[in-house]
Amino acid sequence: MGKLKVIDLFAGAGGLSAGFEQTDSFEVIAAIENNKNARKTFRRNHKSLRKEFFFRDIKDLKYEQINELKKIGIDIVIGGPPCQGFSNANRQKNTLISINNQLVKDYINVIENLNPKAFLMENVNTMRSEKHKFFKANHEKEELERLDIKLVNETIVIGKKMKLTLLLIEFLNQQDINFSEFLLDEEIFSKLNAIQRKNNIKEYFNKDNNSRYFKKILTKWNELHNYWCDDYKENWKKLREELADILLSGIESGGFLDRLKEIVEVQRILMKYREIKDNDIFYKNITIVNENITVEVQTYNVFEYVKKRLKKLRYKINEDDKYILNAANYGVPQQRRRLFIIGVREDLVKKGRRVTLPEPILTNEEEFFNISIAISDLETLPTSTMIDSPPVPIKKQNLISRNSLVNYYRENNNGYLYNHVRTETRETALKRFRSLQPGQNFHDLTDELKSTYTDYSRTQNTVYKRLDYEEIAGTVLNVRKSMWIHPSLDRAVTIREAARLQSFQDNFIFEGTKDAQYQQVGNAVPPLLARFIAESLLNALGENPKVEAVDMLNINNKLEEIVI
């Protein structure tokens, strides 16, 4: 059998694709990714990718592109469409409907249009929760009935009760509105919103860029938007006068902040109501409940929709297991739990084969690959703080190890180590590094070393985390922002070390700015975990990889050593 052709949607740097290609049974010929730095990384590491099939946006997959992909025959669709939860508790949000959740539907639409042999969808492990929901649209009624989707009646908050918002309800209930004429420009709204969140307004306007911005805006204040009622117009005019006084004298009038808050709240409600209208969301009864402006809608669970829609497309999916995999159970030196749905077309599932996620190969914590196994061989190699620094040469005798995971990292190494780059350590950070022992974090610092943080009690336990060689890593996110510390050296963890913790092989080279590379590493699906899942899909299709990951990692010998 020739290699199966893959398209990777929302590809990032290409962790999923890397794992699939490691089996030597797949070739990634198409992908979608909009981040410019991640695109550079993906292109560099996936040589089978065809330039004409490297799209920036899933919306770029129109009829012509779908037809071209069908001609060459896409066998597998993989990817992790972003998905986020909704909560009424977060009332400061300016949007109601998550565009990201719509991308889940776009992902399934690609599967429907391409009709691949199999697919893999990766997502956050909370995707099954009630917070991950779609709002029912009027045009979806027949489809949701056909899929037998359970609808939930919900009352959602779109704003707070204030004098102006009460008038706004009357306006919204009466008018067929052209929202664009009543809404402020996004940047202006953002600036006004920022003012009302500040504790010290005078200090805010003492900053030159803020004062310059508003001086310019005041010259065209009456042209920024139209007014939906006289009361709002009067408040808008008074707000201009009060802003002018603050800019001139630094003195804030007593009613300024209340007026500003009302205008911001009106704008926020208008934004959310426009979303409802633009997305054809079914709703009724804009009313007041417990001092809040609310609307009644119907919602349905994202996870239930995904499963039922995919089954309707005649795919056999992994319904017999719990959907959640921990990367540590598959040789990745990191605790990382993610949700995976895999599916194979019903007509292609081989007799006696199951569509199921891979069974864990390491089940006890003492079996896991620890941080020492993952990165200690890099400890003596020089690092750099410059992103354009040359790769580090590695002596030939150092390319072979007795450790199977290290040999996996070094496979096809060309004699150089790339991306062994770290953040520069400043004086305060260095003092913190030196005071922390393996396993300790920011909260173990003395109060004196915490003094640069306004409210250090809210700092997460992952910040200034000194790694412990004898432990497995926590979930790798952007370790530059978290300021993870090397287990034995007083320096930050390098991009390459973070990549090792994510199970990227050393021949996978990251591109872009320093922070972009750290972020790409943190966003990725661990390639080694992806490889195990790819093998499960092969198995369901009646195929086997040339070398199974469990044999490559020499897991059986590792377990025997632990027992002994």
In this structure, the answer to whether residues 283 and 426 fall within a common structural domain is no
Q: What is the DSSP letter of 99?
A: H
Q: How far apart are CA 432 and CA 484, in angstroms?
A: 11
CA distances from 32 to 16, 24, 29 (A): 13, 22, 11
pLDDT in tens, 346-395: 999 988 888 999 999 999 999 999 999 999 999 999 999 999 999 999 87
Asked if the structure places residue 246 within a domain, the reply is yes
Per the structure, how many domains does the chain have?
Answer: 2
In this structure, the answer to whether residues 383 and 278 fall within a common structural domain is no
Percentage of the residues of the chain whose pLDDT score is greater than 90? 77
In this structure, the answer to whether residues 167 and 272 fall within a common structural domain is yes
In this structure, of 64-78, 86-100, 178-192, the range with the lowest mean pLDDT score is: 86-100
Q: What is the pTM (predicted TM-score) of this model?
A: 0.90
pLDDT in tens, 95-121: 777 666 789 999 999 999 999 999 999
In this structure, the answer to whether residues 388 and 513 fall within a common structural domain is yes
Last residue of a domain, one of 267, 290, 313: 290
Joined together, the tokens standing for residue 441 give: 């974090």
Last residue of a domain, one of 248, 263, 290: 290
Q: Which domain holds residue 172?
A: 162-290
In this structure, the answer to whether residues 272 and 377 fall within a common structural domain is no
pLDDT in tens, 293-345: 999 999 999 999 999 999 999 999 998 778 999 999 999 999 999 999 999 99
CATH of residue 441's domain is 3.90.120.10
Q: What is the DSSP letter of 390?
A: P
Asked if the structure places residue 447 within a domain, the reply is yes
pLDDT in tens, 325-336: 999 999 999 999
Asked if the structure places residue 35 within a domain, the reply is no
In this structure, the answer to whether residues 521 and 377 fall within a common structural domain is yes
pLDDT at 562: 41
Asked if the structure places residue 476 within a domain, the reply is yes
Asked if the structure places residue 428 within a domain, the reply is yes
In this structure, the answer to whether residues 395 and 483 fall within a common structural domain is yes
Q: What is the DSSP letter of 499?
A: H
Would residue 83 show up in a list of annotated catalytic residues for this protein?
Answer: yes
Asked if the structure places residue 561 within a domain, the reply is no
Asked if the structure places residue 27 within a domain, the reply is no
Any idea of the CA torsion for 264, 270, 273, 277, to the nearest 10 degrees?
Answer: -150
Asked if the structure places residue 475 within a domain, the reply is yes
In this structure, the answer to whether residues 378 and 505 fall within a common structural domain is yes
Last residue of a domain, one of 256, 290, 324: 290
Percentage of the residues of the chain whose pLDDT score is greater than 70? 94
pLDDT band at 554 (very low <50, low <70, confident <90, very high): confident
Joined together, the tokens standing for residue 92 give: 């400061």
In this structure, the answer to whether residues 277 and 377 fall within a common structural domain is no
Given 83, 339, 499, 553, the catalytic residue? 83
